[in-house]
Structures are given as C-alpha cells and as structure tokens.
Structure 1
C-alpha cells in the first residue's frame, strides 16, 4: 500500500482510508448507509490492516456516536499506535443551542465525547466537519491548537469549507503560530470536479492535503448504472444525499462509457478505475472508501494496486469535463498568469 504525506505535515497516511459511516445504523437515515456491528467491523478492519490500510475515518454524528463506539471496540485488539483514527465534530450532537458549531464550548465537549466513545487518549486527525460562520475562526483554531499542545489531537483538519474560509483559516494559524489544517476532507469524483476550481489551488499552494469522501459519486460510479440501466427515481444514486448534486443522466453515461473503455484496457473494474483516477490528481492524500462486506472492501482495496497512464487519465478528464463558472472560465484563458496544478500525478 502506498503511503503519502498528509498535506505538508509529517504524517504519512495510506492512499486509501476506510470510512466507517456504515457502522451502527442507529436510525433510518444511517441504516441506508449500513448497520455493521462490532464483530463484522473487526473482520473488515483486520482485512484493511492485512492490505496495509491502517487509517479509519468516522464522525461523532455517524449513527449518533454509535459508529465511533463500534470503531473503538473493533480496534481494541490492535496496538493503538498501529492505527490512525480520524473523526469530526461541528454538526448538531444534542438539542441544546450550544451543541453544534465550532465554538470552544462545543469542540471541548465533542472531542472528549469522541475520546470516550473511541476508547482512546488521542485522535490522530480531528476535523471540523463543516464551516461555522458564526464562531470566530480565531476561537476555533485557538481551541484546536490548545488540544494539539495537550496531546489530545495530533493533527487538525477541516471538511466542506469554501476556498475563502480555508485560506483565511490557514492565514490565521500562520499569524499566531497555531496548528494549521493539514487536510481538508472534500467531495471529489469523476462526476463532481468542483474541488478543482479553487480548493485544489489552495491545497496546492498552502500544503493542505485532500481526503476524498464519496469518491464514487454517491454510488453512481459502481458500474451498475449505465445506458439502459438508469438510476432509480428517488434513490441516492439518482438524487444525491444531504443536499448533494443531481447529476444529468446523459453526462453520467458519457463518463461511464469512458470508464468502461479504460477498464477494458487495464483489466480493472469501473469503480477501481474511478478511484485510481483520483489518486492521479494533485493534492490528494487519501480516498475515504466504504464497504458493507468483505467482497466490496476487497474490490475497493485493489484500486490502489495499479497506476493509470497519463493518456488514460486525459481520456477520463475529457469525458467528465463541464463548463466552469465565473471567474474560473475567465482565468483559464490567461493560463500563463494563472498556472494550475498539474493534471496528472505519477
């Protein structure tokens, strides 16, 4: 398994990270993700460890804390230093007005709750799960820096930030000498390339590594959806989830056609090619993959076993390209004054 630097930090992470949102299934929403129990989780984690994947991602809100509890129990047989744990806070975790957001009050409460549920003394990578536009950025970063200095957090990260919010956060950390976001967990896929417009540039210039969530575009790039086999109305693959984007059917089919062609050239599956395309992109440190069973996990783990060529990546780039919004379409016309990150990473 290839390991990459997490942004400009000193932490090395495998290029695949196992996402545990399928653990728990505590309510109807999360049951659609999965209902993996402790014993099943332990088996899947051992499968990851055997493949060299020792990075596990969860969040306080996944199944109302149950995902963290199951992950903590499922890694108990492993030396703590042999695994990397990533978790998150910010979304509401209780009915009170102070039980959401990235305030000093809420971070302190949620971090200690996560430590207890995970049965650990420290978190390797701790994310702000979303941007909090009410809490001063200085308050959030100062609180996180305090916990880094206390040893309760090793590295800090964010998720789902806009370009300006990420850049301002980096600037504030540098101004005060506080811990800086080492990573940004983002949505990025062959059918969702918005990340490239601005966030990739910030990541490239400021050394913030990308951790990719939903790399198969809400299940649309599994190979099951194609011409003649459209996504069913009302499903996650058709409509997205949690406010996610609706994808035009014809655009999706065009991308899957290109994936089929590259899969035939490589002897790999459509999802393996879609995942490997992401690994060929700059700033990407790791892909957060999910699986409900050992067979799905085995297929996803194999996505890191090969390297697409520059020509194959270009073919997929062309098939998935969409018009850019302003000002990005304007900026690319003056590419000699607005250099972009490279299109291919060997």
Structure 2
C-alpha cells in the first residue's frame, strides 16, 4: 500500500505516489481500460489524482471524472490545472487571466463531476497577465469553496517567491509546485528546491522515470522498442528524445545492478530516488493498464542508503541535466 505525506507546509495529506493521466487518458488508452486502472489505483491506496484541462483537450478530465464518479469525494484529492489552450483556441482560451481561470475552473468541475478541486494549479507562468490579477482570481475561487489550495507548475524560484507573497496577502495558501524531476533531470535542485523549502512549498514531480528511459528498456545502439513512448507521435516522442543518446542510455544500464541489490525494479528505483530527495511531496506515475500500478506502488516507503544515493549520482553525473538556469526556459514568454 502507498504511504502518505503532507503537501508542502499544509495540513493536506496526499498519496506519495500520485496517479497522473497526462498522456494516457483520452488519448493512448481506451476509456474502459483507463477506468479500470484508476480503480486499481484506489485499491492500492492511491487517493490523489492529477490531471489538467489541456490533457487530450479536456478528454482526460472527462475520463477521470467518470472513473471516480461513485467514490466518496472526501476520500479523494483531485488536482487539475489551467493555462494551456482548450476549445477553439480563441484569444482568451489560454493563459492566467481572470476570465480564463474562472471559465476553465467551472468547466473542469463539470467534467470531473465534483463541486470543488483540492488543488488548482497554474500550469505555467503567464508573462502576459499581471500576477495580482491571477492570484485575485485564485483567491476568489478559494473563498467560494470551489478550490481548497493553490499550486503552480514549472515556476522559477523568483516566481514562487512572488506568488507566495501575493497568496499570503490574499489569505490563501500556495502549497505546491509541479516540476519535471528525475535522476536525469535535476535542474530544480539549485534554486527551486531551496526557495520552496523556505516557503513551505512541496514538489509534486512529474516524469520521475524520465519518460520511461529510467526503466532501462531503451538500450544503447538498439532500435527503439515498438509501442514505446518514443514512438508516440501524439507528444510522447517529443518529450523523451533528449534522453535517448547513447551516453545516457549506457549510464542508465549501470543502474541495473544497483536496483537488483536493493530488490527493486528499475522503475521502482527511479521513483524511490525522487521520493527520497528533500522537498518532494509526491511522484506522479501514470499507467496504461492496471497491472503496472501493482509494481509502481512498491516504490513507496523504500529507503535508499546514502552511499547508494551517492553512487547513483556519480554514475549519472555526466548525463544528468543540472543547470538551474534551465528553469527559466520552461514557461512560454507569450501565450500559445
């Protein structure tokens, strides 16, 4: 069963392995299989579910809402996000303006079949909207009871500081950031993690397995496995390609005996690694079928010895992305 942690410096407990439906629901996986996978997650103790209105252009929220329809709402933590375009992509169909936030949240609630979301996240930073406007809209939704907590995704250390101060002034809580983080992508460690720990903001990390590369199934000098994420033309291939060089794949294979010595699979090692790092509240894991989750949850509660953590860092030192300046290149400088 999955263990639980507090999300940042809040009283909200979440499952440290959080179920995410970014690429799978409404896209790669048939709805019936997706619903069965959500139900298996619940059986395994996963109570936290992360989605976004933009995933499958609202399709992922619809599938998740259907899957959770008959569950006790108070026993769940449902997270969604706002920023990226949905619908016909009109001039106000994206960003963090008051108009888009209000309209998007109400649409998300309908799709999810709930009166409120536990965490509403700014999916990126919006350089074209005053931050005061964004946080006033968030505050109004919190005070209306439609949102319980506020989070963000892929914000820089400075943006987190400014947002946290505004949230505090408005009487609401900014408790989380959702960045990419894995053994191979460690750019948040330099600035984002220290600022977040100072502010009481927890990290809900996505891609803890580096889009599947840390599973070890991609081999140096070998063809890409058929049906893998690297062959997904709907988006998966774009995100994984910068991890597929031979140097990276060769280094990843050196982790196999380490995982074996710990009695873990390669995916379990990758998830346990992120969960052991400071400031991480949860690791987001997706699944295309129920059985995958049976293995994933075995990473919960694992303690990797300090010397092994050091050894992993040494093996991957030359192939890990660590430059904190990369955190400034994630949010678009203008709306999509």
- Give the TM-score taking structure 2 as reference length: 0.88
Q: How does 1:1-346 map to 2 (within 5 A)?
A: 1-21=2-22, 22-25=24-27, 34-37=28-31, 39-94=32-87, 95-174=89-168, 176-229=169-222, 231=224, 237=230, 246-247=242-243, 249-322=245-318, 325=323
Once the two structures are superposed, residues 184-228 of structure 1 have per-residue CA deviations (whole angstroms, 9 ceiling, x without a partner) of 011001111111121111111111100011111112111212345
Aligned counterparts of 2:308 and 2:230: Cα–Cα separation in 1: 25
CA contact (8 A) 1:98 1:105 kept: yes
Deviates more, 1:88-97 or 1:237-246: 237-246
Q: What stretches of structure 2 of length at least 5 have no aligned partner?
A: 327-336
The answer (yes or no) to whether the contact 2:20–2:49 under 8 Å persists in 1 is: yes
Cα deviation per residue 1:35-88 (whole Å; 9 max; x = unaligned)? 230x32332122111211111111101111111111111111211111111111
Structure 1, unaligned stretches of length 5 or more? 26-33, 329-346
CA distance in 2, matches of 1:140, 1:326: 26
**Contact map agreement 1:254 1:319 (CA 8 A) in 2:** no
Whole-angstrom CA distance in 1 between matches of 2:69 and 2:144: 23
SS in 2 for 1:144: helix
Question: What is the deviation of 1:273?
Answer: 0.5
CA contact (8 A) 1:251 1:320 kept: no
For CA contacts below 8 A with separation 6 or more, give which structure has more relative contact order: 2
Deviates further, 308-317 or 245-254: 245-254
Secondary structure of the residue aligned to 1:288 is: strand
Query: Which runs of structure 1 show a deviation greater than 6 angstroms over 4 or more consecutive aligned residues?
Result: none
Taking a change above 3 Å as real, the CA distance of residues 64 and 289 of structure 1, as seen in their structure-2 partners, is: same
Cα RMSD (Å) of the superposition?
A: 2.3
Alpha-carbon distance change, 251 to 228 in structure 1, aligned in 2, over 3 angstroms? closer
CA distance in 1, matches of 2:70, 2:322: 49
1:82 & 1:55 partners in 2: Cα distance?
A: 9
- Displacement of 1:128 after TM fit? 0.7
Report if aligned partners of 2:188, 2:324 keep a CA contact under 8 Å in 1: no
User: How far off its partner does 1:163 sit?
Assistant: 2.0
**TM-score with structure 1 setting the length:** 0.85
